[in-house]
Each structure stands twice: as C-alpha cells, then as structure tokens.
Structure 1
Amino acid sequence: MNDSYIINQLAENREQYFHAVAPPIIQTSNFAYPTVDEFAYAVTHEKDEHIYTRGNNPTVNMLCQKMAALEGAEDCLMVGSGAAAITNAIMSQVSMGDHIVSVKNVYSWATRLMTNTLPRFGITTTFIDGTDINNFVETISDKTRLIYLESPISWTFEIQDLEKIAELARKKGIITIIDNSYCTALCQKPIEFGIDIIIYSATKYYNGHSDIVAGAICGSKEKMTQIFYNEYMTFGNILSPQNAWLMLRSLRTLPIRLKQSSESTLKILDFLRKSPKIDKIWYPFEESNPQIDLVNKQMKMPMGMFTVSLKNKDISSIKKFCESLQSFLIAVSWGGHESLIMPKCAFVSETDPQASMIRFYIGLEEADYIIEDLEKNLFLL
C-alpha cells in the first residue's frame, strides 16, 4: 500500500462527514444505541464497536488504521504517551517469574520499568550489548519470554541486527518488541525483519509539532486485541480524540518534514566533520560507523538526530556554547519543527567521560542558518 495513499486517503470516509477534506473530531466520551440487542452486541465487541472513548473512538480509530498501514502491521493501538506504549507492550507479554533480555541504554523510562517496577512482580531483566547476536544467544534462558530492542539507541546510535534477532527469538518461542521512535516506519519497518511488536513515542516525528504527547503500539491483530482487552483497557492511558485529530493533521506532512530534516542534517554534519572543535560524531550513517552495512540494510533514509563530543572538555565552556546557540532550544525529545540540543552534562557529573557529549536534533530551519550559528559559537570555544 502506497504511503501517500495511507496518509491522505486510507480510512478517511469523507462521504460520512459531509465530504469534508479534514476529518471531524468525534469529541464524545459515550455512544448510545437504539436497542438493547445492538447495545449488547457492541458491549461484547468493543474492540470493533463504539461504547466508550476509553476503548474505541472513530477519530482515534482512523489514526490507528493509518499507523498500522504505514508500519505494514495488521493493527495499532494509540495511547497517551511513548511511556504508555512501552508499559502496555512489555507488561502484556510477561508474567511472574519471566525473564527479559534488553539491549543496554534504552529510553530511560523503559529502563526504569524493567529495573524498578517489574522486579516487584518477580520479572527480571538482563541488559546486554545488542550489537553482537552472540550476546543474545548467551543470555537467553528457559525463562526468557521477551527480547526488548531500541534501534538505533538514541544517544550513541548503535543498532541491532533485527533479522537475526527475530529468527533467534522465533526458534525459542520468544516475543520481540522494538522502540522504533528514531526512525518511523518511513525509515525502518521492523515488521519486515520479523519483529513482533513495534512501539513509538508518537510525540516525536509522527506528531512533529511539539504540541501533543502520544504513543503507538503496532503488531498482529491477535496481539493488539489481547493488549486491548487487558492492559490497554485496564491502565486507561488512552489518546484523546483531540490529540488523535492533531496527529492526523501531522501525518499529512510527515514525508516532507523527514526529508527536510534529513537533508539539513547531512549538510550540517558535513560542516561539523571539518571543524577542529569537534572530537567525535555519533550518527548511524557515518561512513566510519562499523555497523554502516547493517544500517544501509535496515534503514531507508538518514534521520535528523546525532551526537557530538567537543574537544574542549571544560564543562563551563560546554554550557556557555549550548546557551549561546540561537538556532537551538535546550530541551528533551525530538521530531518537532524546532531544532534542539540536549547536553549530557545536564544528566551526569562533570567528571563523567560522557559529559562533553551534546545530542542534536535538526528541525525544519534552513541548514545554512544553523551552520552560521554553529560556526560562530564553535569559534569561541
């Protein structure tokens, strides 16, 4: 199915809405039925019918259909945040006494779930270097029920061999989950490599305007239905119709936003490679990346986030540099219209070896404008 068709036509049903070009917001908590029998049928088929917006809503459902189709998945559930997507997906697949194998340095709230919350219920996690398939082979036990991936990792951008990991997991009867937030389905489709469940912080590229928080869970109809009637309905972390509508708006421009951000990033990186003030660059498509062949196999396009380390390791100088940049905001997240920086020294001690690292996200500003800003402030380091 063509991405342009999915984004602009799939599930629009304009004939039901006065042929409106933009879909309506079905801003209701409740749905009524004319007969008891119709009501009873809807109650027992809530995944496909409308009873209460906590479970199913037409505006949210339109978004779910588009997200699933972009992913190449059978179904999708939209939730209120990326953290909610992580929690629903992981907890749906494990029980007391189970074991999880996770790659190291995944998103902080995924790490916290696996290290702080799940152990209270007898579920353990082993964190490994995900760049070597042998680490998965050696760590899996007869209690392992889940492999958790994030590819690329969002600070240093190591990736995992999704095809080999999925093949290993299938042989062992283990479920695989990946956080694909860095890439989106336009850059990487993990389901094509055999991954079972794909999750997103849809706050980022999919929304792209830094005005809502959302999450997505994509996979088979069977798995999404299982999650719907258990974790999704129980935890209640739904996406509101208003925010679903804003995301439908955002999907219209997703391809062009990704293209602009990616092209600008390549131009800015070309400038930074030549700067004597830069010590190291972390980016999946760097030619010096030892995983470059795997990157080219799994990822269809460059994306807009990278990390640099400055040669000047003085923390006060690093802070001054970050605070002097006019084209970047100091903030978490990524994927919006605005360019962002996140200095590692805000999270670690000044003596930490990673304290000089700065993560950059390139938004929709003109690349030359950003380069001029960087050049001026790098000169002062």
Structure 2
Amino acid sequence: MSRSMDLSYILNHLGEDRERYFGAVAPPIVQSSIFAFPSVAKMREGFRDELGRHVYTRGNNPTVEILRRKVAALEGAQDCLMFGSGAAAMSAGAIACVSGGDHVVCVARPYSWTRAVLRDLLGRFGVTTTFVDGTDASNFESALTDRTRLIVLESPNSMTFEQQDLAAVATLARERGIRTLCDNSYATPLNQSPLALGIDLVAHSATKYLNGHSDVVAGALCGSAELIGQVFRGPYMTLGAILAPHDAWLMIRGLRTLPIRMQRIAATTAAVLDYLQAHPRVRHVYSPRASANPQLALTERQLHGASGLLTIELDAPDVAAIERFCDGLARFLMTVSWGGYESLAFPVCAVYPQDAPLHPAGALPLSLVRLSIGLEDADVLIADLEQGFARL
C-alpha cells in the first residue's frame, strides 16, 4: 500500500474526482462503450494513449479507471489493470512476459487455471514450464535455465497454503533479469505486499476478498507503469478480457468495507482454527497460522494479518462419510470460490466420482474440505461444524 496516503483515503476518495461528476458521493457508472472527440486532432491524441485516455471501454473506462487507481494504491503499485476474472489477470501477466522458446518456473501447486495457461496454452507455442516446491527458495534457482524469463508464485496458495519467501525469490530473479509474477489473492494487499518485497507483477482474483460480496467475477494485475503498459498493449487489448463498468462500480462499493471485513474474518477464523485444531476427527489443519505449519516463521515475517481460508483433513473412513459431514452443514454453503461475506465449504471429493479412493495417486486426499470463513459469529459456525462432525 502506498505510504503517502492513508487507507481510508484510498478506499473512500482516491480517483473519484467528484467535481467532474456533479458532486456525486457515489461514483457514476459510465455505461458507454465509446467516447466522442470534438476534432480529428483530439481523436488522434486519444489513439496515441488509449491507456490514459477514454477512447473505447475495451481499453479505458472512467468507472473502471477509478477502481484501477484504488487497487494500484492498495498494492503500492504505479498502475493496475482490471480484468473479467483472476484467471485472465494471471494469464495476461504471464503471456506478456514470455515468447516462444522461453522457460517459466512455477510453484508446484498453483491455481488450476494458472497451471493450464502455462502448461497447456503457452506450451502449445514452445514455452516450457518447470513446477517446483516453492517452500525452498533454492528450488527456484536449481530450475533456472538460460531461457528462463518468468517465475510464477502463489503465496499462500488457496488449498494447502504453501508460501514462498518472496524477497528471496525476487532477489534471485532480479539478479538474472527474470520477471516475477505473484498471485496475492489469499492475503489481499492489506496482509501482504509483494511489490515492496521486490516482486514485479502482482495479480488478484478480485472476485474474492477485494469485492467480498460474491456478486462479481474480476481480476487485477498491478505493477510498474512500464510493465502495466506492456501488458495493456499486448494481451489486455488483444484478448479483451475486460471488467464491465457496472462490475467495477460494485467492486468500488465492496472495497469500502475491505478493512473491517478482513478484521472480522480474521478474528472469527482464529476462533474456528483453535476449535478445529483440537477436534479429534480432524487429522490435520492447513492454514498459514496453524500451530503445526512448518512455515509459521515465514508467515509471521511475510504476512501482516490473517485471512479466512483454511482446509481440514477429516478422519473419515470413506467418501460417503465426508459427504455426510458436508451435507450436515447448514451455515456453510457448499460451493466453489471463497472470500465473500458468507461462509463456504468446498469438498475435494466433489470433483471425483463417488467411488473414488480416498487417496488418488498423485492427487490431494479426498478427505480434504476447504472452509472459507465469512462474517457470521464464530459460535454459530462452530455449532454448524459440530453438526457435520456428528454425522461423520
């Protein structure tokens, strides 16, 4: 976050320029696809700087621009681009950094669509990727080749929450002229500052905590003006995975409450974490702040605060028992995604056939259930989990 302005100013005032919009306290939704010019000369100026001017909403829209400025300031970045999803933001960041024949190093367990763009899409065009255990920074160095142009990080990841020493990896990459791209969705800009640690590009699934209300799918990519300009002129304008003005307006509204939402979620999560760590039917709790986390020291050094995402490994004899546990939950909604106001449960077994083994070869155990803690009271959520354990 930019230290030259306070958090409340960023969320409530930055970029809003109310005198331009009739003094409206809430910014307008500029629901226009195109913008007119008074002369050919002015139109020509617009085409020379579509990122800084308003020509066509596929490039720059006034409502989206307000949001861009806020998210950039939260990350301490010079600029930001907003996308139609977090996958689009990560994909654009990666595509902008590599050419055919280049090599990428990525953490071993990234978000599935990050893996897909690196391995499946870019792999079709001669880009190779090595996936490494990112908990040891030396593994990145061992995987480098003379064609490595990008290191992709996700710290923590969104299922088992492995972290990377961002400062160490950034130093390694900078010394060799390699760019770094980090998914910061779990932590939010309030709880982790990858750019301040030397990372080049920071992405978010803004669908999650930044929006916080489970009503917008969005992505953000933050970095220097130079790098963001390269992304804008390349994959952003080429692929057109933009955020609509109305969705940007909803995100601006969601951002207003980001600090108090995260404070409430962190406090509730701490209570739920204590309960789960002591429960006899929980074999393991995955969380950056779990007492058994081998990276707890890195958590304390690198994360400024807590999030609401954790995963439990149930002591269950079979998939049917896991289903009974999940089906017994009433306050936790069973669905994908995370980071909204409501508490959610995502059972890994749901993506497998019912008769699948608990421990598929080369995959996560089917006894894992990811929980996203929302804004409910801790005792309500704990009582709901008790219902599930009773059926287990």
* Structure 1 and Structure 2 fold alike (TM over 0.5): yes
Residue of structure 2 in register with 1:173 after alignment: 177
2:18 paired with 1:5: no
Amino acid aligned to 1:111? R
Residue of structure 1 in register with 2:288 after alignment: 284
Per-residue CA distance 1:191-229 (angstroms, 9 max, x = gap): 011000000110010111111110000000000011111
- Structure 2 counterpart of 1:351, from 351, 358, 368: 358
Shift in Å at residue 288 of structure 1? 2.1
Return the alpha-carbon distance in structure 2 between the equivalents of residues 141 and 70 of structure 1: 34
Shift in Å at residue 172 of structure 1? 0.8
Q: CA RMSD in A?
A: 1.0
Map 1:149-298 → 2, pairs under 5 A:
149-298=153-302
Per-residue CA distance 1:79-137 (angstroms, 9 max, x = gap): 11111101111000000100000001100001111121111100000000001111111
SS of the equivalent of 1:296 reads helix
Q: Relative to structure 2, which stretch is displaced further, 283-292 or 162-171?
A: 283-292
Contact in 1 for aligned 2:319/2:358 (Cα 8 Å): no
Task: Kindly tell me the number of residue pairs found equivalent between the two proteins.
Answer: 381
Return the alpha-carbon distance in structure 1 between the equivalents of residues 226 and 211 of structure 2: 27
Shift in Å at residue 327 of structure 1? 0.7
Return the alpha-carbon distance in structure 1 between the equivalents of residues 182 and 143 of structure 2: 18
Q: Which segments of 5 or more consecutive residues in structure 2 lack a partner in the other structure?
A: none
Return the alpha-carbon distance in structure 2 between the equivalents of residues 235 and 340 of structure 1: 32
Q: Relative to structure 2, which stretch is displaced further, 341-350 or 84-93?
A: 341-350
- TM-score, normalised via structure 2 length: 0.96
Per-residue CA distance 1:323-358 (angstroms, 9 max, x = gap): 110011111110111111111112343332611111
- TM-score, normalised via structure 1 length: 0.98
Amino acid aligned to 2:32? T
Per-residue CA distance 1:132-165 (angstroms, 9 max, x = gap): 1111111101000000000001111110000000
Return the alpha-carbon distance in structure 1 between the equivalents of residues 198 and 103 of structure 2: 21
Map 1:366-381 → 2, pairs under 5 A:
366-381=377-392
Per-residue CA distance 1:22-68 (angstroms, 9 max, x = gap): 00001100100111111111111111111110000110000000000
Return the alpha-carbon distance in structure 1 between the equivalents of residues 313 and 86 of structure 2: 28
Residue of structure 1 in register with 2:121 after alignment: 117
Shift in Å at residue 365 of structure 1? 1.1
Return the alpha-carbon distance in structure 2 between the equivalents of residues 313 and 138 of structure 1: 40
2:375 paired with 1:364: yes
Percent identity, aligned pairs only, is 51
The list of structure 1 runs, each at least 4 consecutive aligned residues, that deviate by more than 2 angstroms after superposition, is 347-351
- Structure 2 counterpart of 1:130, from 129, 134, 140: 134
Shift in Å at residue 188 of structure 1? 0.4
Residue of structure 1 in register with 2:310 after alignment: 306
